[in-house]
Amino acid sequence: MTVVAVCSLSGAPGVTSLATAMAAAWPSGVLTVPVLVEADASGGDVAAWYGLEPGPAGLVSLAAASRTPVPGGSCAPASHETASSGSRDPVLRHALELPGGLRVVAAPSDPLEAGRAVEALARNPRLLTLGRVSVVDVGRAVPGSAGAALLRHADTAVVLVEAGQIEQAERLRVCAPVLGSLRQDGVRVGLAITGHCQHTDSEVSQVTGGLPVWARLPHDTTGAGLVRGEHHPPQRLRDRLAAWRAQRRDPDGLEWMPLIKAAKALAELCDDFDGLGLGAEKRRVLEVQAA
Ligand SMILES: Nc1ncnc2c1ncn2[C@@H]1O[C@H](COP(=O)(O)OP(=O)(O)O)[C@@H](O)[C@H]1O
Ligand SMILES: [Mg+2]
């Protein structure tokens, strides 16, 4: 049971992109199907990115199920879910599967609907915390908001800040005590910095009350396009060879994209927090044994 919340304090530095990439790159085991939960009160983007039709499964259904949890967290699984995976993870029941396999509990793009669902979820986060691995896109976690309340139910909170934006640096500085109080509640809190930051990790930590810098996310239009569902790897052998020759990269792999590589490293770091020092491979073996 791992809940990793990804949020910003202001601006739009790429929270949805990072949360999506982390969920997609999460080291999954036999019983661990990572799911992206879009809990942004200002409305979801993933459905629009991937052209998903609004259906019964999503943040609204998760919030509704959270309001009236049946013992054991059971409710009718969405039609696309296999009974076995759905019965093990109450969050997965409300997820759709994106091309490529990522499960997502998508938020409605309407901020009124999304806001109501996030408020309900913040009041009743039990189902969310029963999921196996949920990466939660909280969007902008304004202190006092439902999104900020959700952070308290996470095991780990990643705060994304854009370097070089003076107002973001100032917001981070003034919010440092609130983030510190999250740590007192047992939430691990760390920073991910986008853009070019001229300060060292320890300099950043000094002005943020000791928050560690967990990741530096590069600007990467190709990786961001992939996350938005726009990247189509070359299929024909001739194109693949040309891509390899041009870039000296494996056209099938994705980690040559700096954003994907950084998101994967951050996902592995967050996974390790709960891994009690076990490597992903060893945990997979334990999961198989437990299954
Ligand atoms: N590391 C990045 N490099 C380049 N573009 C990015 C990066 N991260 C996000 N973007 C792009 O910036 C825009 C906003 O990103 P998004 O993830 O929706 O931000 P937020 O959720 O904080 O509003 C999107 O068009 C996205 O593709
Ligand atoms: Mg977003």
For the domain made up of 2-283, give the CATH fold. Answer: Rossmann fold (3.40.50)
pLDDT for the residue numbered 134: 96
Vertex 271 angle, CA 268 and 275, to 5°? 125
CB distance 221 to ligand 1 below 6 Å: yes
Cβ neighbours of residue 66 under 8 Å, at least 6 residues apart?
A: 120, 121, 124, 125, 126, 127, 128
Q: Which atom of ligand 1 is nearest to the CA of 13?
A: 22
Tell me which residue has its CA closest to atom 1 in ligand 1.
219
Using the structure block, give the residue that is written with the tokens 């002005």: 207
Q: Which atom of ligand 1 is nearest to the CA of 220?
A: 3
Region class of 196: left (phi > 0), else alpha (psi between -120 and 50), else beta: beta
Strand partners, 134: 3, 35
Residue 110 to residue 94: CA distance in whole angstroms: 18
CB distance 196 to ligand 1 below 6 Å: no
Q: Ligand 1 centroid to 253 CA: how many Å?
A: 21
**Per residue of the chain (291 residues), what is the pLDDT tens digit?**
899 999 999 888 999 999 999 999 998 777 788 999 999 999 999 999 999 987 889 999 999 999 875 555 444 444 444 434 445 788 999 999 998 889 999 999 999 999 999 999 999 999 999 888 999 999 999 989 999 999 999 999 999 999 887 888 888 889 999 999 999 999 999 999 998 888 999 999 988 889 999 999 999 999 999 999 986 666 677 776 776 666 665 656 788 889 999 999 999 999 998 764 444 455 455 444 444
